[in-house]
Structures are given as structure tokens and as C-alpha cells.
Chains A and B, each alone.
Chain A
Amino acid sequence: MIEVKDLRFVYPNGVEALRGVSLKIEDGEFVAIMGQNGAGKTTLVKHFNGLLKPTKGDVYVDGVNTKDVSVATLARKVGYVFQNPDHQLFCESVEQEVAFALKNFGFDQETIEKRVSWALQLLGLTQYRQVSPFMLSGGERKRVALASVLAWDPKVVILDEPTIGQDYAQKEKLRQFIMQLRTQKKTVVIVTHDVEFVAECQPRIILMKNGKIVADGSAKEILTNPEVLLQASVIPPQITQTFHYLKDIGLPTNVIDVYEARETILEFLGETKK
């Protein structure tokens, strides 16, 4: 469980990035943190694995105050996949890249072998095992970065902008993959701008603006609330907009994903036929 109590954070250059954030993320929850650039999303999640320490307030991960432990200790529990895979790939082969963190955490050789194979399989990278990560495409590099974090099986997985630079098919794969993580009872936190992706995944949404939380609730509640979205400068998903513009003919406005839209429209057509 992650617990944040009245967190304030000021960067050394004086920018106040977080101005009193309090929240609780239970084990196994799936949370999307959304908001404009500079709202403090990344600053907030960097507190979850101790990369940043609160200027004021406290962050507890499983009851442990992040001020009291090193990043390496927290990282064992909280895996953080950075936005740009090029900020972490450096090894000669994909296999070594995935094994890097495992070696840092002091796993034995046999476990490392097993975990690497497992993680590569999980992300469909087995055929690239001996290939240099620099030879791979952008999407593949992103998956290598993800594999290199999932390999040590952290309880919490933080994904910073996982959908950037991914085509639609890859996004769908990522969605299925996140669902798979959830069946393994992992806590998943994503930082994203991608409303369409969020509408399809339907996580709990934490909406941020100017270093504060402006709304916290289910995807359906938040994505269909135009006032709240406007406040955080987030544009609703296309499906929601479509239904919003069709409300005059009697359609509901609280629809966010394609399947639900299909059901609602069929139902509506059935009614009008009668």
C-alpha cells in the first residue's frame, strides 16, 4: 500500500511542484495519474520509489517512510519504468539488459537465468535475447525497458507515459499486459496524457493540476465530468464527446468505451424501433 500524507515538494531551483498531495493506493489497485504538463504527475510518482524525498509531508510504502530507506531498497518493491527507454539501455545484449537489475539486487545466477527467460517471454522478446538493444525499434526498446523492470517481480509497477510513440496495436497489447499484471495482484500506476487509452483500461483516475489533486475517482466518473476535465485541461475521449453531442436525441452522456457505446446504441435503437 502506498500512502501519501500532505506531500509538498520544491525543486532545488525553487519550483514548487507539489503543494499538499494526500492519497492512498491500495494493493492491487490500478491507478492512472493524469493532468497537464507540469501538473506534478512525474514528481509525485518519483516519490513512490524514493527518487525524490518530500520537502514536507510523508510518503509510506507498505508502512515504511521513504525518507528512511534508500532508492535501491524501495526499488525492490516498486518498479519504475521511465518514459524514454534510451535513458536506461546500455548493455550489449537484451539479455544482459534484463539481468542488470537482478544482479544489482543480488539474485543468484540460476534465479537470474530463470527470471530473464520469464520476462523476455512475457514481453515477446525471446527472439532478441542476444541482440543489442540499440538495434531494436522504438517500441521494442520500450518493451526491453519494461522487461528489465518486471524481471525482478516488483509488487508495484509504475509506468511513465507507456503509450507514447506506440501504435494502436501495441497500445492494445500494453492494455492486455496491464490486465495480466492485475490478475497477478500487482499494483499498477500509470502516468499518462492518453485519455483514449485510459478510457479503454478504466482505472481509478487521479487528476492533477498545479501540484494538487483536483479529482480522484473511477474512470467513468471523471472522464464524463466536463467541468472537472476542463479544470485540468483534459479533453474527454472521442466516444464520450460523441455521446455528449448526441444527448439531444436522448442518448446518455456517461459512456467512455467502445463496447459500452455499442451496447447503449443497440439498446437505444431497439427502443426507438418499438
Chain B
Amino acid sequence: MSFFEGLKFRKVSSPIHDLDPRIKFVFVLVIFVLAVVFAEILPLLFLFILQLPFVLLARVGKQWLRSLKGAIFFAVLIFLMNFIVSFIYAGYVVTAQMIENAFTMTFRFIVLVSSFSIFFLTTSPDVLGLALEQSHIPYEFCFAFTTAVRFVPVLADEAQTIMDAQKARGLELEKGNFLKRVRNYIPILVPLIVNAIRRSLELAEAMESRAWGATKKRTNLYVLKPKREDYLLAFITVAILALAIYVKIFVPIPKITQILRISA
């Protein structure tokens, strides 16, 4: 669950929180694409360091670290998979290059997790919904999206209560073999799903009775308008993208193993 904690928004005021979510999203998207495009450790390291000022400015260091900690399991898995596959392909020999490649893949994953963590930690679901709406995405989809995001913590709380209620009736989740353990979760999942469906029906009725969809064109209480800081971030984003394209085309990026002249 700690991984999700690292994506959960908390209302704080900081320069990063106040940025226009659309531009922030483009920024994160650029980092995402670049992390996928570059397969060398140096540019990935650059992308990672680039995010640190954002974490510090937004004062979400603790939550950000928690999301990275939550990603450790997958990171180790990615490292081992890459390493083992290349190990087998290379004919059962270990080279420094192989380790570097496996590490690069893992680091790429970390960069991706980190960028999304920053985005979701500093963007409230409301503002995100507003951004979607102003990007001319049909209101039905925006509403479904923000509602889904908003109900995640509610569902998590409810799951905990249900678990307590069933434990109070003598259910032991950690008992028995693997199959039995999976079956142990039926008394948790059934009430959780039934309640979620019931709640969604109630929500639909509540929305309809508050004239949901009465007019084609909705107006909003808040309107997103890019500020000076937003233009600055937009400029940074374009600059990074331009630099990346230049490097990708004209500069050969050395590997660490080449720099250190480690062979085999």
C-alpha cells in the first residue's frame, strides 16, 4: 500500500503545486518519452537529477521517497530479468557491460516512477479534472476520471473496515496454503465490490438530482490561466526537448564501461 501513498495528493501550497497542470503534464510526458528514448545511463541520470529541484520546491520529499521505496520490488525484478536474460544470451558469462545495461533499464523505471510520483503528488484531482475539461475532453470522461481518483482513498478505508469486520468473525487471512489464502479474500472482496456498485448508483442519482448534464456547455467556478511560472516551465520543457533531440542526433553518448575503459 505504501506505493500508493507515494501517489496520493495532499493539499499544500508550493510553487510546484500552483503550476498549470497541463504544462506540468507535458513536462512529465517529455521526461517519460526521453527516458524511453535514451538507453544510456548518463542522460537518464540527467533526467533524474532534473527532477530533484521539483521535489525540493514542492516539499514532497518524504512521500516521493516512499513511492520510490514502493517501486523497489519491481526495480529489483527488472534488474534480475535483464541481467539473467543477457547472461543466458551471452553464453553464461558476466561482463561489466551486462551489469550496466541491466542497471540502466532499472534506472529508467525509477525515472518514470519518480516523474509520475511528482506529478500526482503535486496535482489535485480537482485541478486535473479542470485541466482535462479545458483541454476539450468531454465532461463525462473528466467527471468519471476525477471521481475514480477521488474514491481511491475511500475504497482503501472501506477495505480496511471490511477486513476488521471479517477478522472479528474469526477470519484469518494469513492461514492455509496459497489457494486457501486467495480464497480468504472472497469475504473481503464481495462486500467491497457490492458497496462500490451500490455507492456508484447512489452517486449517479445524487448527480442527476443536482441537474447533471442539464446544459451542453458547462461553466466553471475556476478557470485555469497560465502564469509567468507556467511559461517558464514550458520554456524549460522545450529547451530540454531541443537539447535531447540535438544530443540524440549529433552526440554519441558513451557508456560508463567505455569511459572507465573496462572491457569484457
Contacts and interface: CB of A to CB of B under 8 A. Distances in A.
17 contacts: A49-B168, A51-B164, A72-B167, A76-B170, A84-B161, A86-B194, A86-B198, A87-B158, A87-B161, A87-B165, A88-B162, A88-B165, A88-B166, A90-B191, A105-B170, A134-B194, A149-B169
A70 interface: yes
B169 A88 contact: yes
Contacts of B168: 49, 51, 71, 75, 79-80, 82, 149
A132 to B, nearest CB: 11
Given A51-B164, A82-B161, A82-B165, A88 B191 contact: yes
A82 B198 CA distance: 19
Contacts of B195: 86-87
A23 B96 CA distance: 65
A158 to B, nearest CB: 9
A188 interface: no
B191 A87 contact: yes
Contacts of B165: 80, 82, 87-88
Given A90-B186, A104-B172, A75 B191 contact: no
**Size category, A interface:** 20 to 34
Given A72-B171, A152-B170, 4 more contacts: A49-B168, A88-B166, A89-B191, A104-B171
Interface in A204-259: none
B190 interface: yes
Question: What 3 pairs across the A-B complex have the smallest Cβ distances?
Answer: A104-B170, A90-B190, A101-B169
A134 B186 CA distance: 16
A100 interface: yes
A82 B172 contact: no
Q: Which has the most chain B C-beta neighbours within 10 Å: A72, A84, A88, A100?
A: A88
A148 interface: yes
Interface of A: 46, 49, 51, 70-72, 75-76, 79-80, 82, 84, 86-90, 100-101, 104-105, 134, 148-149, 152
Contacts of B161: 82, 84, 87
A105 B171 CA distance: 9
B187 interface: yes
A51 B160 CA distance: 11
Interface string B170-198: 11100000000000001100110011001
